[in-house]
């Protein structure tokens, strides 16, 4: 095969690929134009591509999209007061297996303490040779690893024991999956 035949074959291949690409994009554009998601003027350029977006670090700590505003923890009915409450993780609205920290279930028996990190202590006692107390600085000095953890509240099946009608949300709403840093305990 000569050099010119190779070039002609390559050009033919690229030309056909370009034609197939254009043919596949045109029907998509036509569907978008008729879907109601575009302006009635027939303009195929979405409006959000015509304006400047928000600057970076606005806000400095990321927030959820306004389009996800309905995805929230749900309080357990009859269990809400000022000090004792519980909420469920909206597993049915999640994408993937990692639960965002703002959607992890909560269970409080005496409110949420506001402990300054410099005063917080971790006490390890019970089935250990000797009890230990760690400050947050102590904990932060330990080596850190990232792991996936599945956390389940022991009260997940309480509705079944009380013979209440339990939904999948009430059975599994306290079962998030978290990924984050942890210090190995061994």
The model scores a pTM over 0.85: no
* pLDDT, tens only, 125-169: 999 999 999 999 999 999 988 888 777 777 776 666 665 555 665
Residue 167 C-alpha from the chain's centroid: 23
pLDDT given for residue 124 in this prediction:
94
Domain boundaries, the chain: 3-49, 72-182
Q: How many CA atoms lie within 13 A of 131 on its CB side?
A: 6
Say how far apart CA 107 and CA 99 lie, in whole Å: 16
pLDDT given for residue 45 in this prediction:
85
Which fold is adopted by the domain 72-182? Sulfite Oxidase; Chain A, domain 2 (3.90.420)
Say how far apart CA 171 and CA 160 lie, in whole Å: 8
Residue 30 C-alpha from the chain's centroid: 34
* pLDDT, tens only, 64-118: 888 888 888 877 776 666 677 778 888 888 888 888 888 888 887 877 888 999 9
Classify 17 as helix, strand or coil: helix
Say how far apart CA 87 and CA 100 lie, in whole Å: 14
pLDDT given for residue 141 in this prediction:
92
């Amino acid at each position: 095969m000569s050099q010119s035949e190779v070039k002609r074959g390559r050009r033919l291949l690229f030309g056909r690929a370009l034609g197939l690409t254009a043919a596949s994009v045109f029907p998509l554009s036509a569907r978008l134009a008729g879907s109601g998601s575009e302006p009635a003027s027939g303009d195929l350029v979405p409006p959000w591509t015509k304006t400047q977006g928000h600057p970076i670090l606005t806000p400095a700590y990321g927030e959820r999209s306004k389009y996800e505003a309905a995805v929230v923890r749900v309080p357990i009915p009859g269990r809400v007061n000022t000090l004792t409450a519980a909420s469920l993780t909206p597993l049915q609205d999640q994408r993937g297996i990692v639960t965002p920290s703002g959607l992890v279930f909560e269970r409080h028996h005496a409110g949420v303490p506001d402990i300054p990190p410099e005063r917080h202590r971790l006490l390890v006692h019970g089935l250990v040779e000797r009890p230990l107390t760690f400050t947050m600085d102590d904990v932060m000095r330990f080596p850190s690893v990232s792991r996936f953890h599945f956390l389940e509240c022991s009260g997940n099946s309480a509705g079944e024991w009380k013979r209440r009608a339990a939904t999948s949300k009430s059975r599994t709403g306290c079962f998030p999956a978290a990924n984050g840093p942890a210090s190995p305990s061994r």
